[in-house]
Structure 1
């Protein structure tokens, strides 16, 4: 069950960013701040259609999960 399908450009970008053979590759242990005690500010724009898609996908997953749990309990 796939909830999102990435384009070839998106897959290529992720492969490039997380390619560990590059010296400047993304490191999940690093934070983009000079002082690690400071907070990182993250700003996002979300459009209504994205929220609706997210809610629909969540309801689908929860419905599927609840059906599985119900079937296992019988």
Structure 2
């Protein structure tokens, strides 16, 4: 499982993409929730392979994308 902790308590979108830019996982927009757990599954509930992924956070008109490595 992957745990991401955010510094902001504002409502924000959280998404994970593969390096091809394909959307892998979308997490519900939440306010007052500054963390998310990712179990390595896509939106269909299927396991994704080990590799490099991008996570994107969007809040209040600001977007930030970072790389992460998933190792199973």
TM-score, shorter chain, exceeding 0.5: no
TM-score category (smaller protein):
under 0.3
Q: What is the TM-score when the length of structure 2 is the normalising length?
A: 0.18
Q: What is the TM-score when the length of structure 1 is the normalising length?
A: 0.18
Query: Highest Rg: 1 or 2?
Result: 1
Flag the structure with more relative contact order, 1 or 2, with Cα contacts below 8 A and sequence separation at least 6: 2
